Amino acid sequence: MKQEKMLILASSSPRRKELLQTLGLSFSIQSSDVDETTDPGMQPQEIVEELALRKARKVASGLTEGVVLGSDTIVVLNGEILGKPVDDEDAYRMLHALQGCEHTVYSGIALIDAESGQSEVTHSRTQVRIRPLAPDEIRAYIATREPMDKAGSYAIQGIGATLVEGIEGDYFTVVGLPLRLTASMLSRFGIQVL
């Protein structure tokens, strides 16, 4: 089926780009550098929806047509949001806290039609269990540098997959863009995947 509207990904994330490519859609990328501070007391699902919408709005504000896709992902352990590590010790702290436990990954998705102003925002949530890890394993993983730009300090789609004992929910939510949910939303904006 011919894609009627242009799709714009409001992210420079290589993982989101790869995931969107798997859907076979043509799209362009326009990074959205937005302030990612949120009000204290916001729930994780509200945070990812707010940030996804903020990213999509920033890009859509400079366009007259096309559908803009914004997304945001956070890792939550016992109510604490684990962002990207600031250094090796921060990565160690997060991975040590995550090991042997279950945590939740939230990914928010926002779509905005730049021409009509139509918008939709939602989120997906997945439970992830990290296996028990020895301190040497954590340091060896950090030495790969893979954790350094990942929320929660691990990448389920990389070497970090060896740390994951199991998941309950959508794998792609953990990678950063829930594909089933994204495809379903896109169809309501005139972009059909199948």
Cβ-based neighbours of 116, under 8 Å, separated by 6 or more: none
Catalytic residues: 72
- Cβ-defined contacts of 180-188 (< 8 Å, 24+): 181/109, 181/122, 181/124, 182/20, 182/23, 182/69, 182/109, 183/23, 185/109, 185/111, 185/120, 185/122, 186/7, 186/25, 186/67, 186/69, 186/111, 188/120
